[in-house]
Chains A and B, each alone.
Chain A
Amino acid sequence: MTRQLGYLATIVSLAVAIVGCGMAVLGARRRQASLVAASYNAVYANFFLLAIATGAMIYGLVTHDFSIGYVAQVGSRATPMFFTVISLWSALEGSILFWGFVLALLSAAVVWANRHREGTLVPYAAAVLLGIGAFFFLLLVGPANPWHLVSPTPADGPGPNPLLQNHPLMAVHPPLLYLGYVGMAIPFAFAMGALLSGEIDRTDWIVLTRRYTLAAWAFLSLAIMAGMWWSYEVLGWGGYWAWDPVENASFMPWLTATAFLHSVMVQERRGMLKLWNVNLIAATFLLTILGTFLTRSGVLSSVHAFTTGTIGYYFLAFIAAGLVLTFALVAGNSEKLASEGRLDAPASRETVFLLNNLFLTAFTFTVLLGTLFPLVAEAIKGIKVSVGAPFFNQMTVPMCAALLFLMGVGPSLPWRRTSAAQVKALALAPAIGAVAGVAAGLAFGIRDPFALATLAFAAWALVCNVREYQVGAAARMKAHGESVPVAVGRLVAANQRRYGGYVAHFGIIMMAIAIAASSSYKYEKEATLKPGATMPLRSFDLRFKEVWGRDEPHRQVIGADVEVLDKKTGAVLATLDPRLNFYPTQEQPVPTPSVRSRPVGDLYLNLMAFTPDGASATIRAIEEPLVPWIWVGGFVVAFGAVISGWPTRRSAGRRMVPVRAPLGAAAGFGAPAGTGVATANQVASPVA
């Protein structure tokens, strides 16, 4: 019953998406309001259908209905309820279903929010969203069908992949990632809608698109951070980033979306980079599809996965279709995408944005190259290779340093041009900061040149960042007699968009410093200990107490109790219990490292091996400075995005004032509700 209901809802959603897409296009072309309204209803209907399908699947998982193919694949009576529910996204079919649900949800939300907008932008955007939906619903009916009947019904299932039921972060990371990934379909739909409707030369699509990109970007940022955290907490090697293709897949669209969030400001202020921005949006969306292809088709672990599943071909065909659509539409609108302004001077904010985009694009290409190279090498030369992490590090660390440098410079420079004297005055304090950053790194014992360069430019950017607040707040304090916290708070509130960006910058600087310190000043030691034996580390001593075992319904747990001792007094600071979990479905145990987090850094213990009689255990201990600040930085980045994109009464009440009024901006252009566009007039602009 559950199975039939879910399957039926999935099939109907495919039909509704195809018909709705056709109605939206026809309605927009013929300017027929009733057809357009019907296509909007198709978008809403799909949300309800996918909610029913997803609900049915969760119900099937919870009730252990093993006649449903997907439940038989990932369900198990022994798995705790929490992990049973989230096993919705622990394998291919369920994750595509969840993807379809998120897409239907976001599509319905944006179409509803913009349903009264005049013109044909929204109908075309709805058509694109329904088209993307149709593709995913087709996958659910065809190669990724989670509903196929298992007969006779098995009594029990294997449960989800042990790696995915070992940590609660698995409940957080995938939904965030889908909101980020699928969220990038919305800006793509509006960009394509703007091209299709010929409204690409107006500003309202770009205002909407920036807003939606910002939201998706915030989710994607959190998702990547949660993924790093998960990898740190579960995989047991004490790291959080390995340039693994799966990580790269999530990182590439983040890079291009970041580039877009910066270059879109140049378009809004100067009417430049229009063509470039459309391409960035399209690239971001297609990279999310490429990422899904890479992670979901099995192509990465082995190219031969192609022969076992056909889903890879669907993705490749979809990516090709997306590329063709983008190229055709961009070519058809080339006149409207021509630049209105041009660079006035090399030392201006525009130039910094250009360089920022250049580096972010090069960054994306580097990651793409390193990720796809093994696939190409195997396809062409038949050799099995992988691209080592040193390639990524030596290519991208200099780019990161350059981006941090620009992060400091950009906000300080005014639009259009700057005098040499201004530049000199601006550079002095951050330059001192950079020197101080290197000195601090050296004093702590960091010798790695890459890490020192990162610290230098992070300190540079930090000084610039703080100066933005200081100058603005000082002006407010002088003008209104406000106290420091009030002045800073009101400064941010009054210039949400601008200072939201600076808050995000601050989070990135935090992450850069923490990553540089934790990767270059790591202390690692491994030893086999007998009960009572101690092991000296850099800032602690460890004393091994005992190994213990415990039976849980879905696994067996072996843990080692280890006391953390103060190096001087010998007092017990904490007892950590790194564990190994044995799942019946996997030979290899899944480690659960034990981490003691403090602002100065983490102590990370992993149980490597033990003797079955408990006579000894091998413990790996890692001291990693500043790691918690990576996670804090991730939250700060997302918080900055929220500040920047949050609707305000100010922005709802009036429209932005572009430097050059775009053509046709007056016709059929109602003030969009809450567009979150920052105002050009600042309470105190530091240099202008």
Chain B
Amino acid sequence: MTPSTAAQNARSRKVIAIATVVLMLGGFGYLAYGGIGENIVYFLTPGELVKKGEKAVERPVRLGGQVVDGSVVWNAQNLDLRFKVTDGQGTEVLVHSRGAPPQMFRAGIGVVVEGKYGRDGVFQSDNLMVKHSNEYRAPDAEAMKHPERLNKTLMRESRS
């Protein structure tokens, strides 16, 4: 091998190496860009969800709002839960969820539901979270009372 062909070889190898790296980076960037775009989950209020209309239909969304008083219909045998969520500004969205709601779920509480808004105007929830769940607060009289009230009957026949 003459020195010039050796240098040529080295150069072409460098070109191949750089081209490979550029190609891989490009592919990675393309995949990441498309992947993020497809999997972005918007956090919306009922008003924003309805306003988005067609653009928000059948896409993963996190919907946050308050459970409307008197709207909760819970069938414990079928584990079928329906309720309305409001943004407090007049827009309500009907939510359908399967599975038991969190223990503290009730009318008036703030919730975040993950799921998709269907064409029929019903939000199909895969995951229902009570909004205060992650909030850590110092004890207040109301919260202290709450679990007791809830479990009073069971506590009476409590064992240790």
Which residues in A have some Cβ–Cβ distance to B below 8 Å? 158, 161, 301, 358, 362, 365-366, 369-370, 373, 383-391, 394-395, 526-528, 547-551, 556, 558, 580, 582, 584-589, 608-610, 612-614, 616, 618, 620
- Asked whether any CB of chain A lies closer than 8 Å to the CB of B32, the reply is yes
Please pick, from B38, B60, B103, the residue contacting A589 in the complex, using a CB distance under 8 A: B103
Q: Which residue of B lies closest to A383 (CB)?
A: B42
Report how far A365 CA is from B138 CA in the complex, Å: 39
Is B84 interfacial (CB-CB < 8 Å)?
no
> Once the chains bind, are A585 and B138 in contact (CB under 8 Å)?
yes
Report the bound CA distance from A389 to B102 in whole Å.
Answer: 22
Contacts of B133 in A (CB 8 A): 588
Residues of B within 8 A of A161 (CB): 136
Residues of B contacting A613 with CB < 8 Å? 153-154
Given contacts A618-B79, A618-B100, contact A388 B42 (CB under 8 A): no
**Nearest 9 A-B pairs (CB), nearest first?**
A549-B154, A582-B147, A391-B39, A384-B43, A608-B100, A618-B100, A388-B39, A588-B133, A609-B100
Q: Is the CB of A158 within 8 A of B138?
A: yes
Q: Are B35 and A580 interface neighbours, CB within 8 A?
A: no
A-B contact pairs, 8 of them (CB 8 A): A358-B24, A391-B38, A395-B35, A526-B99, A549-B158, A586-B137, A612-B152, A613-B154
Q: Is the CB of A612 within 8 A of B151?
A: yes
Which residues 104-160 of B have a CB within 8 angstroms of A? Answer: 104, 130, 132-134, 136-139, 143-144, 146-148, 150-155, 157-160
A295 nearest CB across to chain B (Å): 13
CB-CB under 8 A from A556, the residues of chain B are 147-148, 151, 155
Q: In the complex, A210→B23 CA distance in Å?
A: 32
Cβ of B77 within 8 Å of any chain A Cβ, yes or no, is yes
B41 contacts A by Cβ under 8 Å: yes
B1 CB–A CB distance under 8 Å: no
Q: Is the CB of B42 within 8 A of A385?
A: yes
Given contacts A158-B138, A612-B153, contact A589 B104 (CB under 8 A): yes
B102 contacts across to A, CB distance below 8 A: 588, 609
Shortest A551–chain B CB gap in Å is 6
B101 at the interface (CB under 8 A from A): yes
Asked if A370 meets B79 with Cβ closer than 8 Å, knowing A158-B139, A358-B24, A386-B62, the reply is no
B74 to chain A, nearest CB (A): 9
Q: Which residues of A contact B99 (CB under 8 A)?
A: 526, 608, 620
> In the complex the two chains form, is A390's CB within 8 Å of B39's CB?
yes
- Within the complex, what minimum Cβ distance (angstroms) separates A620 from chain B? 7
- Whether a CB of chain A sits under 8 angstroms from the CB of B36 is yes
Q: Is the CB of B143 within 8 A of A587?
A: yes
Q: Which residues of B contact A362 (CB under 8 A)?
A: 24, 28
**B138 to A, closest residue via Cβ:** A158
- The one of A358, A373, A384 in contact with B36, judged by C-beta atoms closer than 8 angstroms, is A373
B residues near A586, Cβ cutoff 8 Å: 136-137, 143
Inter-subunit contact B40/A388 (CB<8 Å): yes
Q: Do B103 and A395 have beta carbons less than 8 Å apart? A: no
Residue from B134, B143, B152, B157 within 8 A of A584 (CB atoms): B143
Contact at A616–B76, with CB atoms within 8 Å? yes
Q: Of B32, B79, B103, which is within 8 A of A580 by CB?
A: B103
Can you name the residue of chain A whose Cβ is closest to the Cβ of B35? A391
Chain B residue at minimum C-beta to C-beta distance from A157: B138
Asked whether B31 is an interface residue with its Cβ less than 8 Å from the other chain, the reply is yes
Given A549-B154, A587-B146, 4 more A-B residue pairs with CB atoms under 8 Å apart are A158-B139, A387-B40, A612-B153, A618-B79
Q: Please tell me if the beta carbons of B104 and A385 are within 8 angstroms of each other in the complex.
A: no
Task: Kindly list chain B residues whose C-beta atoms are within 8 Å of the C-beta of A548.
Answer: 154, 157-159
A385 near B158 (CB under 8 angstroms)? Answer: no
A389: chain B residues within 8 A (beta carbon): 39
Given the complex of chains A and B, what is the CA–CA distance between A389 and B28 in angstroms? 18
Inter-chain CA distance A370–B143, complex, in Å, is 36
A390 to B143, CA, bound (A): 37
Which residue in chain A gives the minimum CB-CB distance to B149? A612
Q: Tell whether A301 pairs with B134 under 8 Å between CB atoms, given A384-B42, A549-B151.
A: yes
- Could you say which residues of chain B place their CB within 8 Å of the CB of A365? 28, 32
Please name all residues of chain B whose beta carbon is closer than 8 Å to the beta carbon of A301 when the two chains form the complex: 134
Assess A612 versus B154: contact at CB under 8 Å? Given A384-B42, A586-B136, A586-B143: yes
A585 contacts across to B, CB distance below 8 A:
136-139, 143
Q: Which residues of A contact B139 (CB under 8 A)?
A: 158, 584-585
Q: How far is the CA of A558 from the CA of B154 in the complex (A)?
A: 8
Contact residues in A for B77 (Cβ distance below 8 Å)? 528
CA of A528 to CA of B99 in the docked complex: distance in angstroms?
9
Q: Give the shortest distance, in Å, between B32 (CB) and chain A (any CB).
A: 6
Q: How far is the CA of A627 from the CA of B31 in the complex (A)?
A: 30
Q: Is the beta-carbon distance between B35 and A394 smaller than 8 angstroms? A: yes
**CB pair B138 A609 closer than 8 Å:** no
* A614→B41 contact, CB < 8 A: no
Q: A158-B138, A528-B77 are in contact. Are A549 and B155 (CB under 8 A)?
A: yes
Is the Cβ of A395 less than 8 Å from the Cβ of B158? no
Q: Are B147 and A584 in contact (CB under 8 A)?
A: yes
A586 to B146 alpha-carbon distance, docked (Å): 10
Among A369, A370, A582, A614, the one with the most B-chain Cβ atoms within 10 Å of its Cβ is A582
Chain B residue numbers with a CB within 8 Å of A369 are 32, 36
In the bound assembly, the distance between CA atoms of A358 and B22 in angstroms comes to 12
A551 touches B76 (CB 8 A): no
Task: Tell me which residues across on chain B come within 8 A of A366, comparing CB atoms.
Answer: 32
Instruction: Given A362-B28, A549-B151, A551-B158, answer yes or no on A387-B103 (Cβ-Cβ < 8 Å).
Output: no
Say yes or no: A587 contacts B144, CB within 8 Å. Answer: no
Q: Which chain A residues border B150 with CB–CB below 8 Å?
A: 582, 612
Q: Contact between B79 and A527 (Cβ–Cβ < 8 Å)? A: yes
Select A618's contact among B35, B76, B134, B151, beta carbons within 8 Å. B76
Contact check, B155 vs A551: say whether CB atoms are below 8 A apart: yes
Contacts of B134 in A (CB 8 A): 301
A178 to chain B, nearest CB (A): 21
A580 contact set on B, CB distance < 8 A: 103
Cross-chain contact of A588 among B42, B76, B104, B138 (Cβ < 8 A): B104
Q: Which of B8-41 contact A (CB under 8 A)?
A: 24, 28, 31-32, 35-36, 38-41
Most A C-beta atoms less than 10 A away, residue of B31, B39, B133, B152:
B39
Among A394, A528, A551, A614, the residue within 8 A (CB) of B79 is: A528
Residues from chain A with Cβ under 8 Å of B146 in the complex: 587
Residue of A with least CB distance to B147: A582
Neighbouring B residues of A526 by C-beta, 8 Å: 79, 99-100
Contacts of A387 in B (CB 8 A): 36, 39-41
Whether A386 and B41, one on each chain, are in contact in the complex, defined by CB atoms closer than 8 angstroms, is: yes
Task: Indicate with 1 or 0, residue by residue over B42-63, a CB within 8 angstroms of chain A CB atoms.
Answer: 1100000000000000001010
Q: Which residues of A contact B42 (CB under 8 A)?
A: 383-385
Return chain A residues, CB-CB under 8 Å to B31.
Answer: 395
Neighbouring A residues of B130 by C-beta, 8 Å: 587-588
Cα of A373 to Cα of B40 in the assembled complex, Å: 9
Closest B-chain residue to A91, C-beta based?
B136
Name the CB-closest residue of A to B127.
Answer: A237
Q: Which of A383, A388, A547: most chain B Cβ within 10 A?
A: A388
CB atoms of B101 and A609 under 8 A apart: yes
Contacts of B158 in A (CB 8 A): 548-551
Q: How far is the CA of A547 from the CA of B133 in the complex (A)?
A: 23
What B residues does A158 contact at CB under 8 A? 137-139
| Neighbouring B residues of A385 by C-beta, 8 Å | 40-43
